[in-house]
Structure 1
Amino acid sequence: MAEKLTPLHTDLVPVHPGIEIVRLAALLAEGGALDEDALGVMFEQTQRGVLGSVAPTGLWPDLARGLMSPSPELMIQALRECGVLDVVLPEVVALFGVPQIADNPAEVDVGEHLLRSLAVAARCKAPLEVRYALLVMNVGKSDSPREHLPVHYRHIERAIPRIESISERFGVSEPCRELALLALTECERVHRVSAVRAGPVAAMLERVGAFRDRTRFDLLMTLCTCDYLAYGGGRQMPYSKAQLLEAALQVCVALGDGALVGAGAGEDLQAARAMAIAEEFGSQRWSNEV
């Protein structure tokens, strides 16, 4: 049975009330039960403006703790219900109620999808970098022109400064910030990647740094898997796009850089990689066309 959380309890070391609100929500994500009375007190404290006197960097350790908990989505829900998210992460609050095109179902709510993706990340035991990126990578979709919805034109351009601002505000680590920006530009492309277009696959592997930083590539694949599974519709592991890119990467690694010594490197190497991927997948379209 979940332990009932008592709001604004007294510790041996005094805790700023703004930090304590976030800490209670983080404890909820760890398995506590936050009742209506507790939420009410948290709401009252938020309305009193206690968050105005605490630096966001002081909140980050407990936010990170909640994100790394078994149910991070419960922390975000609690913070939203008591108004804390409006103060500390208005960019995320603005995503709720915003439609986004999908396939099954045909549309999803961006904010609700965010919660589901965090829940999946917890089940996959994803690291903090992935969970943070899932939290913030879609913040450019909140104010997409209504006439274009549920499609989000130019959301990447809107999101970049917002992700930078959020990351600076909370003082998150550089790997967290970098993965969030990488996911912003690449996650939807990963969902669309195709074995019959070997050139773009080779270009993507180069663009995301798969040959230079295998760890970051693996983090991106984990993130894209969580995002994919969060759409529902009976989707299950393994995620075929991640498998495709992993297979393509192995083909390119086996090819090696030395095969093209003295041949002009760069573009020739990319062409060789594209051809190797095309041969592996039996693709006829191995050029670099987008």
Structure 2
Amino acid sequence: MSANLTPGPFGTSFTDLLASPALTVLRMAALAASQDDGIDEDSLDLMYEQVAAGVLADLAPEIIWRELARGLSARAPSRMLRALRECDALAVLLPEVDALFGVPQIADDPDQVDIGEHLLRTVDEAARREAPFAVRYAALVFNVGKSDSPREHLPVHYRQVLARGVPRIEAISARFGVPDDCLDLALLANAECERVHRAAEMRAGSITAMLERVDAFGQPERFEQLMTLCTCDFRAYPGRASRPYPKAAMLRAALSACRGVDEAAIATDALLEARAQAVAAALQSRRWEA
């Protein structure tokens, strides 16, 4: 987690918390993410009453972000998000995320999952893997374009990436002043995560084009963060928590093969083809040669 994102110390006094019911709601939810148990029912009832009274309306975005970042950085971010949802605070603070609960998405077994519940498992998997903060933030928001997909298409989601996903991710990030690296990865995941999941169906040229499109050569650290996020997303589906994610290993092998191409000896317009041939050889399958 970068220095400018590190949540401040738990230095807020008890008096300050009593004087700011809104901060109390957020702080209790954030603390839940670092505890073994959730928030007790009496506390949740009090938080619900405070939210219903409108205490969150005038809370400064930087204060909201500080507590959200604190919870996302903890070992079980889902506990914060569940607590915020149970007291109706999530609908006030992150309506784009709250709207994902109850929306179906295609899966294997079972054949559908609730996107909101899937999101909770994804952020917890990111925490379990001690993923960088940018990965955790991307896991939180990269699916927000799916909340209002046409009902006749569900559980499949069409046109959610550019038409709905991008503007919502940008709006959330602008609202809280989210750092550029977090916004950048969230937008990249919105555009590419599902394509990464389908990498085994691609030919070598398409894989190479993907690596170039995500700038895996120029930004290898961001590429690794994307692979981590896709791994977390994969493992969040039922029955996959302990399974390896072969698409990430496959794309890393493809990237390594591309790096073995002598760029200086190849004309620019022939570089993509040379890299594709290297990928086909590295993956050792004839179906990737064309």
TM-score (norm: length of structure 1): 0.91
Alignment of 1:188-227 (within 5 A): 188-194=194-200, 197-227=203-233
- Any idea what the Cα deviations from partners look like across 1:270-290, whole Å, max 9, x if unmatched? 1100011111222334578xx
In the alignment, which of 17, 22, 31 is matched to residue 18 of structure 1? Answer: 22
Query: In structure 1, the residue corresponding to 2:207 is in which secondary structure?
Result: helix
| Residue identity matched to 1:24 | M
Which residue identity is paired with 2:262? Answer: G
Q: Unpaired segments of 5 or more residues in structure 1?
A: 1-7
Distance change (3 Å), C-alpha of 1:92 and 1:268: same
Equivalent-residue separation in structure 1 for 2:140 and 2:148 (angstroms): 17
Give the secondary structure class of the aligned counterpart of 1:51: coil
- Aligned twin of 2:174: 168
CA–CA distance in structure 1, aligned partners of residues 129 and 109 of structure 2? 22
Aligned position for 1:269: 271
**In the alignment, is residue 99 of structure 1 matched against residue 104 of structure 2?**
yes
**Do residues 129 (structure 1) and 134 (structure 2) align?**
yes
Q: Does the Cα contact within 8 Å between 1:56 and 1:88 map onto a contact in 2?
A: no
Q: 1:108 aligns with which of 108, 113, 117?
A: 113
Q: State the partner residue of 1:253.
A: 259
User: Partner letter of residue 174 of structure 2?
Assistant: E
Q: Deviations over 1:117-158 (max 9, x none)?
A: 111111111111111111111111110000000000001121
Q: CA deviation digits over 1:47-84, x for unaligned, max 9?
A: 11111111222210110010011110010000000010
For residue 28 of structure 1, the aligned residue among 25, 29, 32 is 32
The amino acid across from 1:23 in the alignment is R
Moved more, 193-202 or 36-45: 193-202
Which of 66, 69, 76 matches 1:71?
Answer: 76
Change (3 A) 1:17 1:235: closer
Aligned positions of 1:122-161 closer than 5 A = 122-156=127-161, 157-161=163-167
**More displaced stretch, 181-190 vs 102-111:** 102-111
- Asked if 1:243 is matched to 2:249, the reply is yes
SS at match of 2:113: strand
User: Could you tell me which amino acid in structure 2 is paired with residue 274 of structure 1?
Assistant: A
Does structure 2 retain, via aligned residues, the 8 Å contact 1:16–1:54? no
Separation of aligned partners in 1, 2:240 and 2:232 = 14
The whole-number CA distance in structure 1 between the counterparts of 2:228 and 2:193 is 10
CA contact 2:18–2:24 (8 Å) conserved in 1: no
Distance 1:118 1:182, change over 3 A: same
**Structure 2 letter corresponding to 1:257:** E
TM norm structure 2: 0.91
- Tell me which amino acid in the other structure corresponds to 2:83: A
Which of 46, 52, 58 aligns to 2:51? It is: 46
Q: C-alpha offsets along residues 180-239 of structure 1, whole Å, 9 cap, x if unaligned?
A: 000000000000002761111101111111000111001000000000000122453431
Q: CA RMSD in A?
A: 1.9
How many residues get paired? 277
User: What is the letter of the counterpart of residue 69 of structure 1?
Assistant: A
Provide the rounded CA distance (Å) in 2 between the counterparts of 1:39 and 1:256. 61
* Equivalent position of 1:90 in the other structure: 95
Secondary structure of the residue aligned to 1:255 is coil
Shift in Å at residue 11 of structure 1?
A: 3.9
CA contact (8 A) 2:204 2:276 kept: yes
Amino acid at match of 1:10: F
Percent of paired sites with the same residue: 55
SS of the residue corresponding to residue 100 of structure 1 reads strand
The alpha-carbon deviation at position 13 of structure 1 amounts to 7.8
Report the counterpart of residue 5 of structure 1 in structure 2: none
In 2, Cα distance between equivalents of 1:15 and 1:70: 28
SS of the equivalent of 2:140 reads helix
